[in-house]
Amino acid sequence: MIDWSAFLIVALVSWVAALCIVTAYSFGVRLLAVARDEGSNTSASKLGAYLCFGVCGVIVLFGVVLIVPQLSRAILGA
């Protein structure tokens, strides 16, 4: 009656997803802060930061695909 495995899966997946986004965004923020330091390799840090934000953007887009039924049917086929 009570589906404990579903509960566990929801917990694990949501934790992993949230941690991934936060990790990527935090590194982005940190790299931007590093880029403002004196004597650092500014362009490399900035590039890294934008890459991190890009990863976040992709994950968020995936979230939008999940929310919108038409998109998830078209892209994920389910």
Partner 1 sequence: MDLTLIVVLVIALALFFDFTNGFHDTANAMATPIATGAITPKKAVALAAILNLVGAFLSTEVAKTISGGIINEDPTTGVQIMPEMIFAGLMGAVVWNVFTWLLGLPSSSSHALFGGLVGAAIVGAGFGAIDYGVLLSKVLLPALCAPLIAGVSAYMCTKLAYSITKRQNGASPKRGGFRYGQIFSSSLVALAHGTNDAQKTMGVITLTLVASGLQTAGTGPHLWVVATCAIAIALGTYTGGWRIIRTMGSGLTDVKPAQGFAAEVSTASAILTSSHLGFALSTTQVASGSVIGSGLGRKGAEVRWGTAGRIALGWLFTLPAAAIIGGLAAWLTHTGAVGVGIVAVLGVGMLLLFWYLSRKNHVGHEDTLSDIDNSGAAVNILSKKERRARAKAEAKAARKAAQEAMDKEPDNS
Site for partner 1, rule CB under 8 A: 1-3, 6-7, 9-11, 13-15, 17-19, 21-23, 25-30, 32-33, 36-37, 56, 60, 63-64, 66-70
Check residue 77 and give left, alpha or beta (phi > 0: left; psi -120 to 50: alpha): left
Element (H or E) spanning 41, and its range?
none
CA distance 20 to 68: 22
Q: How far is the CB of 19 from partner 1 (least distance, A)?
A: 6
Q: Of 2 and 77, which CB lies nearer to partner 1 in the complex structure?
A: 2
Q: Of 23 and 41, which CB lies nearer to partner 1 in the complex structure?
A: 23
Q: How is residue 21 annotated by DSSP?
A: H
